[in-house]
Amino acid sequence: MGKSKELSVDLKKQIIDLNKSGKSLGAISKQLQVPRATVQTIIRKYKVHGTVVSLPRSGRKRKQSHAAERRLVRMVKSQPRITKKQVCKDLEADGTQVSVSTVKRVLHRHGLRGCRARKKPLLQKRHLKTRLKFAADHMDKDKTFWRKVLWSDETKIELFGHNTQQYVWRRKGEAFNPRNTMPTVKHGGGSIMLWGCFAASGTGSLQKVNGIMKKEDYLQILQENLKPSARRLGLGRSWVFQQDNDPKHTSKVVKEWLNQARIKVLEWPSQSPDLNPIENMWTVLKKRVHARKPSHLAELHQFCQEKWSNIRPEACQELVDGYQKRLVAVKMAKGHVTKY
């Protein structure tokens, strides 16, 4: 026998109203064409719960106990890279058999969801120590100090955005429809290497690097672009130059020139791109350039120059003025990588 259809809320309310008016169960049953036992059940539930709306049911008995569920969550928290299938196997080895969907539901209930692991630099103990020292030494610096810093770095931009991801809305079986695919070319169709700098007052020079950069090439870039950028950005005389610890940057010939030019260099912790706000600038630049869909490397370079110069000074200042948050994040993470 199939399951009978549940009565509507309006019909249940009529039953209650008729009962309150003094009618008997039999009279209500006859008038509304509802079985007498059903009328009695609805009235009894109303007297207990004060409503005719169906209450949540308990559902099927839980596959796992609360203790077993907590153990599953602890297992995943201690091994974030473990797969759902592996979790099932480990639990089965201990005598508990659950499905992949059950594992998924339990983890979702505890706020754990599968996400792509973020790619971040490998940090060793010495890196953690220098990052914490940098944060402690500069925690008391105010906005005026950071506004005098000229930030710099290099980045590679590929013609067809080989490292970018694109999501599409499609139906099952339409994955290879040309409208739903992302064209690729071997080796990204080519790329260009750029050196750039910026400060709170705006963007500085953006220089294309030809071939593999050597220390002599880097020195030439600094000689031709560093001081002109600082003057154009109005940094005055007491500005500070930031660069990472790439061997080209810390080579003897570069150090000597920086000393002779009386340029103060910010002491920098290795493996710390999250402390350099120019990384955020590169992200903005790449998104805007790839939105223009350049067709060849010369056009890619042209778009890079245009988009770099069009970044608003207000955006640069906002990025730099929030620098102390990065230091706090490093301290809170005990030197480990941060969201920046």
pLDDT, tens digit, 9 for 90 and up, residues 28-80: 989 999 899 999 999 998 888 888 888 777 777 776 778 888 888 888 888 88
| Rounded Cα gap, residues 17 and 216, in angstroms | 93
Question: What's the confidence (pLDDT) of residue 185?
Answer: 58
In angstroms, rounded to a whole number, what is the distance separating the alpha carbons of residues 329 and 124? 18
How many CB atoms sit inside 10 A of residue 85's CB?
A: 10
Distance of CA 255 to the CA centre of its chain: 37
Give the pLDDT confidence score for residue 114 in this predicted structure: 81
Question: Model pTM?
Answer: 0.69
pLDDT of residue 160: 74
Q: What b-and-e string marks burial along 147-177, b requiring 16 or more CB atoms within 10 Å of the CB? A: bbbbbbbbbebbbbbeeeeeeeeeeeeeeee
**How confident is the model at residue 239, as a pLDDT?**
95
Residue ranges in the chain modelled with pLDDT below 70: 1-4, 63, 161-167, 169, 176, 182-189
Residue 60 has a pLDDT of 73
Residue 216 confidence (pLDDT): 94
Residue 135 has a pLDDT of 95
pLDDT of residue 157: 92
